[in-house]
Amino acid sequence: HSLVNQYQFLRIKRQSLNKTTRNQSFDQVAGICIIFMIFTHICQLSYQTGWPVYMKSLGIFYFYMYFFFMKSGMFFHEKSIKDCIRNNARHLLMPYFLYMLIGHIVHCISIYVKEGVLPLSSIFIQPWYEIYSWGSSIGNLPLWFLLCLFFVKISYNILVKLHVNSIVILLISFAGAVYLQFSDMIIGDYQVPYTIGAFLMAMSVYSFAFLLRKLTDMGGQIWTYILGAIFLISIYIGSPGVDIRSNNCSSFCLPWFLFSFLACMFLLRLFAIKPFAMAWLGNVGRNSMTYYVWHWILLDLVSILYNILGGESNKILWGLMVLCCIVFLPLIQHIKTKITCKN
């Protein structure tokens, strides 16, 4: 019993130290981005993409996927290739395949409920084509990010070990992503998979963030005001949005690239100021992986149940999806935390 109590004391002490040393503003910005991402997916899956609030919000939170690659790049540390592959396989690939399998099972149920038949090709063939084309199966489509980040982190680590300059990595990857955007992801007669375009754009964000990682602590309060003004201007003039997953942009993406970085820097500084700090938002950001891998599955389940019950109103479906995420995503995280503590 004394050993158990000592272990629990050390664990609690370590957690309190992590809270004091960890940059809480990164968690809070991650919380905003993950909540907005879930909101967009709810609107898409409930057929509410014509809703003015949805349309306007895209012009405000245009940086939300950019931030996750930027955050990872800022915390890059060179490792041995073996350790890099092993660690990222455990933290990225294992959740990728596990939750894709769960999502695929739920999606197969959805097909059967809506169409009354489930072709074998939908079970065994279609998911592999979707992974090749989009980076993930449609049963849990947001997981493309985990696969993309895995390849970015491994590739960047290898290139750094080969002494390739980060500016060179940035310029080549960005140029490649822009070329694919202007060619509509087509080279000759070949349709380039989304995964390649996403990888190039994500690699450019990752390397850019690593190069400018020290800027988060530079300057005083006046710099925060300047960044805030730039953010408001970017919303007013309308920064062109980029869908990193499909590497799709309505125009030249350089303004989006730069505005997104500055917007993220502004929010990181804003949430470092105590009056703006929100603990619950930081909690969501710290546990963003749980929210990320589970929300699409939950939304698909709500859609299935609503279809079985004969629901027809998309607005009601939207409300049910919101309620489901508010209730069950924190509950899943709570259960996960309990299990982790017991182990």
Q: Which two tokens stand for residue 248?
A: 């799709």
How does DSSP classify residue 275? G
Please give, one letter per residue, the 3-state secondary structure of 102-142.
Answer: HHHHHHHHHHHHHHCCCCHHHHHCHHHHHHHHHCCCHHHHH
Residue 340 has pLDDT above 80, yes or no: yes
| Whole-number percent of the chain with pLDDT over 70 | 92
Pairing of strands 190-191, 186-187: antiparallel
Residue 12 has pLDDT above 60, yes or no: no
Read off the pLDDT of each residue in 241-257 and give the average, rounded to a whole number.
90
pLDDT at residue 136 in the model: 97
Q: Which residues contact 140 (CB under 8 A, 6 or more apart)?
A: 99, 100, 102, 103, 104, 107, 293, 296, 297
pLDDT at residue 250 in the model: 76
pLDDT at residue 10 in the model: 53
Is the model more confident about 253 or about 217?
A: 253
Lowest model confidence (mean pLDDT) among 21-25, 32-36, 306-310, 317-321: 21-25
d(CA 198, CA 34): 19
d(CA 85, CA 68): 19
pLDDT at residue 215 in the model: 83
pLDDT digits (tens, 9 = 90+) for 58-68: 999 999 999 99
Is the model more confident about 72 or about 341?
A: 72
pLDDT at residue 6 in the model: 52
pLDDT at residue 319 in the model: 98
pLDDT at residue 252 in the model: 86
d(CA 59, CA 250): 13
pLDDT at residue 11 in the model: 55
Read off the pLDDT of each residue in 264-291 and give the average, rounded to a whole number.
90
| Identity of residue 66 | Y
**Cα distances (angstroms) measured from residue 207 to each of 4, 12, 203, 213, 238:** 44, 35, 6, 10, 25
Read off the pLDDT of each residue in 231-259 and give the average, rounded to a whole number.
89
The Cβ of residue 9 has, within 10 Å, a number of other Cβ atoms equal to 10
How does DSSP classify residue 241? P
Helix (H) or strand (E) holding 271: none
Lowest model confidence (mean pLDDT) among 140-154, 171-185, 201-215, 245-259: 245-259
Nearest to 306 by CA among 112, 49, 314, 293: 314
pLDDT at residue 7 in the model: 46
Q: Which residues contact 50 (CB under 8 A, 6 or more apart)?
A: none
Read off the pLDDT of each residue in 116-136 and give the average, rounded to a whole number.
95
Read off the pLDDT of each residue in 112-135 and give the average, rounded to a whole number.
95
d(CA 176, CA 75): 24
Read off the pLDDT of each residue in 106-132 and give the average, rounded to a whole number.
95
CB 201 within 8 A of CB 247: yes
* Counts of helices then strands in the chain (DSSP H, E): 16, 4
HSE, side-chain direction, 13 A CA sphere, residue 330: 11
Is the model more confident about 2 or about 154?
A: 154
CB 32 within 8 A of CB 264: no
